[in-house]
Amino acid sequence: NYLLDRNTRFLKRGDKHIKITEKEMNFIIELNNSSKPFSKEYILKKIWGYSSETDTHTIETHIYRLRQKIKKSFEDKDFIKHSKDGYSL
């Protein structure tokens, strides 16, 4: 139900859109292209290029902010799902 414009970094649904960061865009693309959830460690190292020694609360904070943007604009609280296996769309 969403369209991601990579040139403008807008996430769109219907007549609404939000501006997202490059990291948020890459995160959404990776999650969308995967059939399995990603762990915090995988996201830190492979998607955001952070050291494995970085505090994993960094991921939770980024995801929380992205979820808030999506919830506020699209009223979608389930866009990013979290389970014991990791994060998925």
pTM, whole model, 2 decimals? 0.86
The three-state secondary structure class of 30 is helix
CA distance 64 to 49: 19
Contacts of 12 (CB under 8 A, 6+ apart): 2, 3, 4, 5
Contacts of 15 (CB under 8 A, 6+ apart): none
Model pLDDT for residues 55-83, shown as the tens digit of each residue: 667 788 889 999 999 999 999 999 999 99
Model pLDDT for residues 9-25, shown as the tens digit of each residue: 999 999 999 999 998 99
